[in-house]
């Protein structure tokens, strides 16, 4: 059985808008939303493909924009709470691990690695300097536990932020089994429920997928760790224009048969 707490099921989706990695670039997200809104059709679904936070300077503003746009989408006639889905990416995974840093065997080393991957920008957006975080990581388990607790409360003080981050799904798929949405990749040799963290750490071989994965007609991802840009193959699509790395933010609309019928790039 697929765990519905880990996977989102898009029901009766005639079209799905998939949005690539945002990486904390709030201004680009606002511009994309402005272009997306008039193009939405009844029964359209929206999937944000993870890596919404990190790298860029506006993580807090990105989460605010995601929540605001969701309210507008769900206010349309015949909308359902499951019409908008947020996936967990590597940035969101690291952020959750950061909130449990006191359990790491080498807290300072783990934190430094996370900072090298872009977590520092998310800390800064909540008013925490990377230098202060590194100092805190060397203070011992008791003090570090207090620090992570304070950080969690800081996030909870921003309306909706904690709820959004706890609502993340590992992947999403349409209820007809035609479309699969992931963050960075997957292991084609393993079934969907056994992928675990492959969704955000196994992106290197995504371009080499040359046959269907199960019965899915197309797999769409939002982040390419090699930063090769927008790409479509017979069975996959990569919607990463390099947002957060000096590039663009991409959204693409895909129909139930796997055809990409519209694209927004800002």
Which sequence spans correspond to the domains of the chain? Answer: 7-89+168-265, 93-156
Q: Residue 96 pLDDT > 70, yes or no? A: yes
> What integer is the mean pLDDT of 226-246?
94
Query: How many residues does the structure list for the chain?
Result: 266
Tell me the percentage of the chain whose pLDDT exceeds 90.
81
| pLDDT tens digits along 133-186 | 888 888 888 889 998 999 999 999 999 999 999 999 999 999 999 999 999 999
pLDDT for 208 equals 85
pLDDT for 143 equals 87
pLDDT for 169 equals 96
Q: Residue 227 pLDDT > 90, yes or no? A: no
pLDDT for 254 equals 98
**Which residue, among 84, 14, 22, has the nearest Cα to 44 in the 3D structure?**
14
Q: Residue 1 pLDDT > 70, yes or no? A: no
- Tokens describing residue 238: 């990569």
pLDDT for 2 equals 62
**Which residue, among 17, 100, 89, has the nearest Cα to 59 in the 3D structure?**
89
Q: Residue 195 pLDDT > 60, yes or no? A: yes
Q: Residue 204 pLDDT > 90, yes or no? A: no
Q: What is the pLDDT confidence band of residue 113, given thresholds at 50, 70 and 90? A: very high
Q: Residue 263 pLDDT > 70, yes or no? A: yes
Question: Pairing mode, if any, of strands 231-232 and 236-238?
Answer: antiparallel
pLDDT for 202 equals 85
Residues 17 and 46: beta-carbon distance below 8 Å:
yes
Query: What is the rounded CA–CA span in Å between residue 160 and residue 155?
Result: 9
pLDDT for 130 equals 85
Average pLDDT over the chain reads 93
pTM summary value:
0.95
Q: Any idea which architecture 7-89+168-265 has in CATH?
A: 4-Layer Sandwich (3.60)
| pLDDT tens digits along 48-84 | 999 999 999 899 999 999 999 999 999 998 888 989 9
């Amino acid at each position: 059985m697929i765990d519905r707490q880990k996977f989102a099921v898009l029901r009766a989706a005639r079209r799905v808008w998939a949005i690539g990695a945002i990486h904390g670039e709030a201004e680009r997200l606002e511009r994309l939303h402005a272009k997306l809104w008039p193009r939405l059709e009844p029964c359209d679904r929206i999937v944000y493909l993870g890596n919404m936070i990190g790298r860029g300077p506006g993580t807090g503003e990105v989460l605010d924009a995601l929540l605001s746009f969701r309210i507008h989408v769900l206010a349309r006639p015949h909308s359902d709470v499951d019409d908008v889905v947020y996936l967990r990416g590597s940035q969101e995974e690291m952020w959750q691990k950061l909130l449990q840093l006191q359990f790491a065997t080498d807290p300072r080393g783990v934190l430094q690695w996370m900072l090298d991957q872009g977590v520092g920008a998310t800390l800064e957006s909540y008013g925490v300097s990377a230098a202060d975080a590194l100092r805190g990581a060397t203070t011992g388990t008791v003090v570090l536990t207090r620090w992570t607790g304070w950080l969690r409360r800081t996030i909870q003080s921003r309306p909706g932020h904690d709820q959004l981050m706890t609502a993340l799904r590992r992947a999403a798929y349409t209820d007809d089994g035609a479309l699969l949405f992931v963050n960075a990749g997957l292991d084609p040799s393993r079934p969907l429920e056994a992928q675990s963290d492959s969704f955000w750490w196994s992106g290197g071989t995504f371009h080499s997928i040359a046959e269907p994965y199960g019965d899915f007609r197309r797999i769409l991802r939002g982040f390419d760790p090699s930063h090769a840009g927008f790409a479509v193959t017979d069975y996959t699509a990569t919607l990463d224009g390099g947002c957060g790395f000096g590039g663009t933010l991409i959204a693409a609309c895909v129909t139930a048969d796997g055809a990409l019928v519209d694209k927004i790039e800002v």
